[in-house]
Amino acid sequence: MTTTTPVNPLDEVFINLATRALMSVHFEVRVAGRFDVDRLTEAFRAALGKHPMARARLAPSSLVARQLQWEVPDEVDHPALSVSEEPIDVVRSRLLSRQPDLDVSPTFLAVVVRDPEGDHLLLNLHHAIFDGMSTVRLFTSIARAYAGEPDETGGPDLAVARDLRTLLGSRSLKELAPRAAKVGKDILDRAGLTRIAEDGGVPDSTTSAVTTLRLSPEETATALAVRPLVRP
């Protein structure tokens, strides 16, 4: 069965901005060995089953429709996951130059890149559906399913996930407008699409770049110990 939920004003910001800029969230994991792709695919399916909005796609619009809607199917349209033997820099550059399709479920792309020193898993997720925290939450469920561990929390109920007043701390949707406008202005002020420079970017440039932050096991444990509690 497919359920529906309205596209809220914040969603509309990123849907509209996607016509002018690349609206995606990049998430990447590297392991010491090799992924079992069949097992990882099943882990993706299990995790998506626990996160309704991660399965959402944009419903077809019509002339009489007064508001855009998200469709949330019970099962996704495609597995999202593919495998590449190409160099990681080539795959990363190509993947991050694409915008995931909002018309199919899920609205993200994932690639396992085979590497002699350890596989990479790259995710490119549409920002109209995902942000940084929801991406981490989804991947936590994927990791638990892959490891055969229980995932009691999963994703929030649709009503909770779509509650902008709670999520953004606004007392009314009217207060959301300046925030959404600020996000839009920041993005449209950029000169074209932001590209990820393989050398880490140009120091004097005003565009964004990506750098690697490595955490030791001790630093990771410290960060996990002070993270906010996530309510089921």
SS3 202: coil
- For 56, the token pair is 């959402």
208 is a domain residue: no
Q: Exposed, middle or buried by CB within 10 Å (0-12, 13-18, 19+), for 139?
A: middle
The pLDDT of residue 61: 79
Q: Exposed, middle or buried by CB within 10 Å (0-12, 13-18, 19+), for 124?
A: buried
- Per-residue pLDDT of 42-60, as tens digits, reads 999 999 999 999 999 999 8
94 contacts: CB under 8 Å, gap ≥ 6: none
Q: How many domains does the chain have?
A: 1
Residue whose token pair is 């994991």: 29
Q: Does residue 187 carry a pLDDT above 70?
A: no
Range of weakest confidence among 73-82, 195-204, 216-225? 195-204
203 is a domain residue: no
d(CA 110, CA 79): 9
Can you give the residue range of the structural domain that contains 76?
Answer: 3-177
CATH code: domain of residue 44: 3.30.559.10
231 is a domain residue: no
211 is a domain residue: no
What integer best gives the mean pLDDT of the chain?
Answer: 81
- Per-residue pLDDT of 85-107, as tens digits, reads 999 989 998 898 888 999 999 99
Q: Exposed, middle or buried by CB within 10 Å (0-12, 13-18, 19+), for 195?
A: middle
Here the contacts of 191-197 (C-beta below 8 Å, separation 24 or greater) are 192/21, 193/21, 193/22, 194/21, 194/22, 195/97, 196/26, 196/92, 196/93, 196/96
144 is a domain residue: yes
pLDDT range class, residue 206, cuts 50, 70, 90: very low
Positive or negative, the CA dihedral 36, 46, 61, 175 is: negative
**Whether the Cβ atoms of residue 82 and residue 119 lie closer than 8 Å to each other:** no
The residues facing 26 across adjacent strands are 124
- Per-residue pLDDT of 136-149, as tens digits, reads 999 999 999 999 99
Question: pTM of the entire structure?
Answer: 0.74
Polymer length of the chain: 232
Q: Is the peptide bond before 106 cis (omega within 30 degrees of 0)?
A: yes
Q: Percent of the chain at pLDDT above 90?
A: 43
198 is a domain residue: no
Averaged over 150-169, what is the pLDDT?
68
- Per-residue pLDDT of 99-135, as tens digits, reads 899 999 999 999 999 999 999 999 999 999 998 888 9
25 is a domain residue: yes
Among 178, 181, 39, 24, residue whose Cα is nearest residue 96: 24
Interaxial angle between packed helices 132-147 and 37-50, expressed in degrees from 0 to 180 and rounded to the nearest 10: 130
193 is a domain residue: no
Q: Does residue 232 carry a pLDDT above 60?
A: no
